Amino acid sequence: MRIFLVLLVTLILSVAPIVPSSAADRGDRFALVIGNSKYPDAETPLKEPINDARDVADELKRDGFNVEIGENLTIDGTRKAFDRLYGKIKPGSVALIFFSGFGIQSNRQSYMIPVDAQIWIEPDVKRDGFSLETVLGEINNRGAGVKIALIDASRRNPFERRFRSFSAGLAPVIAPNGTLVMYSAALSSVVSDVGSDHSPFVQELLKEIRVPDLMAEETLNRTRVGVTRASRGAQVPWISSSLAEDFSFIPGARPSGSVVATLPPPNPEPPPLPPPPRYDPPPPRYDPPPQQPKVEVLPPPVDRPVEKDDSNSQLALADDPTIKSLTAKLNDNPDDQNALYRRGQVYASKGAYSLAIRDFDDSIRLNSKDVEAYNNRCWARAVIGDLQAALKDCNEALRLRPNFVDALDSRGLVNLKSGMTKNAIADFDAALKINPKLTSSLYGRGLAKRRNGAFAEGDIDITNAKAMDPDIVKEFSDYGVR
């Protein structure tokens, strides 16, 4: 009998699946959770990031992660937090990043933005932001076996419009093997805050993390389904995976190859999801916009917005920390062209367009080839209805930099407000050929087509633009275009 029992045990061990002990099973799990809500340049603090970060941190602690949580982190605070995470990582361990706040894509990379970032031109993004690709690369270099990034930063933010050369939302990440990345919305798309204390993305994520016996990829796929269904297709999260080993958020969950009891699904098969908002890029054919004469008689502006009084605006903005800092620089050196240009951008973002134009005037006086200043002055003049001068500025910007997408977009706005709908369509077509995701050109082209009598085509552009950026209607209304 004893021999029979030995043989039986040997036989069982020989056929039972062997689950190797991994760093994830041993508890080598490290997480950095960041929630940024108080951005001085935003009109109001974001409601969701702090609450979401705390809830995610609590859940990850229950799941065996060594968690550090950071709230409203500055550039220096973010750098130190990442350095501490890097220092904890051991070969084969699990490293997770959760970030909720503002993000920007620049040069085909996604950047997490600290609360004190000073972003006025595109190079500032790389200087003050933290590249997700760089962070994941460093974590990989430290030997982490499983790398996970959960990024809830697909929000329209106050930085993007400043340098007028951006793509909305986040960019695809080129990550090392063994990486699982999830964005709260599709690539190059943004979602508006719902005004609640928690984001739909995090609510669905936490619900799925708590389901036992799920591998991480399945957890995130179920999260994507939940968010898509809850938003009726308006928000579709993006996932990228190159995991080379099984991993579950709940320790001890069996990988898919293990022998486990097959349980019936907890709920019946869900109904098919509605398709995500369709975006059809502009047709490949491109006819350059016609050359416009240097002097053109334009009809009076339509729906010209009432600008804030200069003196009142200057007094109201005097205590703005960024304006105060730039004004101090200009008091020391009135010919600081960079400070003039940046202060002009801040004034324009606050609606003080005449003050912005004055700074752009001085910036151009100091550098007659400042193409960005010409473009921004064109845009500011277009908003207040000074259309003759705006057209001249945009033409000069395009002379200095042919096919400058931002100047094409700005000139399209000038032509739209001037009633030159065919010219507006040509400019917006040219801008969309360069950047098919430029929502302002897509929406502007839709309005121009409608005014030109092509109502069906215009409605398609407008619908696609609103799906990509729900705030685009208000933005054009602020420009005086309805």
320, 460: one domain: yes
List the domain range (segments joined by +) for residue 473: 310-478
**Quick one: 235 and 323 in the same domain?**
no
Based on the fold, state whether residues 48 and 176 are members of the same structural domain.
Answer: yes
Same domain membership, residue 316 and residue 436: yes
State which amino acid sits at residue 100. Answer: S
With respect to residue 237, please indicate whether it lies within any of the assigned structural domains. Answer: yes
Residue 87 lies in a domain: yes
Read off the pLDDT of residues 302-348 as tens digits, 9 standing for 90 and up.
Answer: 343 434 445 566 777 877 777 887 898 899 999 988 889 888 887 88
| 76: amino acid identity, one letter | D
289 found inside a domain: no
Do 360 and 223 lie in one domain? The reply is: no
Tens of pLDDT, residue by residue over 215-260, are: 999 999 999 999 999 988 889 999 999 998 889 998 765 544 333 3
The residue whose two tokens read 């903005």 is: 317
On whether the CB atoms of residues 387 and 481 are closer than 8 A, the answer is no
State mean pLDDT over 352-359.
93
- Identify how many contiguous H helices and E strands the chain contains and give both numbers: 19, 9
Residues 80 and 210 in one domain: yes
316, 460: one domain? yes
The pLDDT assigned to 266 comes to: 40
pLDDT tens, 443-466?
999 999 999 999 999 999 999 888
Question: Do 332 and 208 have their domain in common?
Answer: no
Question: Domain ends where: 210, 241, 272?
Answer: 241
Q: What is the rounded CA–CA span in Å between residue 107 and residue 127?
A: 13
User: Which residues fall within 8 angstroms of residue 93, CB to CB, at 6 or more apart?
Assistant: 23, 24, 28, 29, 30, 143, 144, 145, 146
Scan for tokens 């031109």, then name that residue: 121
Q: Do 328 and 447 belong together in one domain? A: yes
Among 192, 223, 241, which residue terminates a domain? Answer: 241
DSSP class per residue in 183-237: ESS-TT------SSSS-HHHHHHHHHHTSTT--HHHHHHHHHHHHHHHTTTS---
Q: How many angstroms separate the CA atoms of 279 and 43, rounded? A: 30
| Position 249 in a domain | no
Q: How far is CA 40 from CA 123, 158, 208, 305, in A?
A: 20, 10, 34, 26
* pLDDT tops 90 at residue 187: no
- 201 and 66, same structural domain? yes
367 — pLDDT class (breaks 50, 70, 90):
very high
Any idea what the CATH number is for the domain that residue 117 is in? 3.40.50.1460
The CA radius of gyration of the chain, in Å to the nearest whole number, is: 26
CA separation, residue 46 to residues 7, 49, 251, 346, 472 (Å): 65, 7, 33, 20, 19
Q: Determine, yes or no, domain membership for 15.
A: no
Residue pLDDT, tens place only, 106-117? 888 899 999 999
Q: Is residue 379 part of a domain?
A: yes
Confidence bin at 166 (pLDDT 50/70/90): low
Determine, yes or no, domain membership for 282: no
CA dihedral 332, 113, 142, 248 (to 10 degrees): 170
pLDDT digits (tens, 9 = 90+) for 107-147: 888 999 999 998 877 888 999 999 999 999 999 999 999 99
Share of the chain above pLDDT 90, in %: 53
Q: Given the structure tokens 């969309």, which residue do they identify?
A: 432
Task: Find the CATH number of the domain harbouring 362.
Answer: 1.25.40.10
Q: 3-class SS at 471?
A: coil
Domain-embedded: residue 277:
no
Q: 448 with 421: CB under 8 angstroms? A: yes
| Higher pLDDT pick, 251 / 51 | 51
Looking at the structure, do residues 321 and 237 belong to the same domain, yes or no?
no
Domains held by the chain: number: 2
35 and 118 belong to one structural domain: yes
Instruction: Give Cα separations from 108 to 7, 140, 334, 439, 441 (angstroms).
Output: 61, 20, 36, 17, 20
Question: Which of 241, 258, 281 is the endpoint of a domain?
Answer: 241
Instruction: Indicate the average pLDDT of the chain.
Output: 82
The pLDDT of residue 312 = 62
